[in-house]
Structure 1
Amino acid sequence: MHLHCYVWSGIGAELRNEAERRPPLPPADPGPFTGSPLPPMRTCDWLLKPARRIDASPASPDDALAWLAERHRTAEGSFLRPADEARIGLGFRLETAREALHNGVDVQWGIWLTGGRFLTCGVVCCSPNRHADYRCPAS
Structure 2
Amino acid sequence: MHLHCYVWSGIGADLRNEAERRPPLPPADPGPFTASPLPPMRTCDWLLKPARRIDASPATLDDALAWLAEHHRTTRSAFLRPADEARIGLDFRLETAREALHNGVDVQWGIWLSGGRFLTCGVVCCSPNRHAAYRCPAS
Same fold, TM-score > 0.5, yes or no: yes
TM interval, short-chain normalised = over 0.9
Number of equivalent positions: 139
Q: CA deviation at 1:29?
A: 3.1
Quote the offset at 1:28 in angstroms: 6.7
Question: What TM-score do you get using the length of structure 1 for normalisation?
Answer: 0.98
| 1:129–1:27 Cα change, 3 Å | farther
Counterpart CA distance in 1 for 2:113 and 2:74 is 12
What RMSD over aligned residues (CA atoms) do the two structures have, in Å? 0.9
Q: Note closer, same or farther for the CA distance 1:27–1:21 as it changes in structure 2 (3 Å cut).
A: farther
Kindly state the Cα deviation for residue 26 of structure 1 after the two structures are TM-superposed: 1.2
- Deviating 4+ runs (over 3 angstroms): none
Q: State percent identity of aligned pairs.
A: 91
Contact 1:111 1:119 in 2 (8 A): yes
Instruction: Pick closer, same or farther for the CA change 1:27–1:62 going to 2, 3 Å.
Output: farther
**Structure 1 residue 2: deviation in Å?**
0.2
**Structure 1 pair 6/63, CA: closer, same or farther in 2 (3 Å)?**
same
Structure 1: tracts of 5 or more residues without a match:
none
CA distance in 1, matches of 2:15, 2:80: 17
Structure 1 residues 27 and 48: alpha-carbon distance in aligned structure 2, compared to 1, 3 A threshold = farther
Gaps of at least 5 residues in structure 2 are none
Question: What TM-score do the two structures reach when normalised by structure 2?
Answer: 0.98
Q: Sort the Cα spacing of 1:128 and 1:27 in 2 relative to 1 into closer, same or farther, 3 A.
A: farther
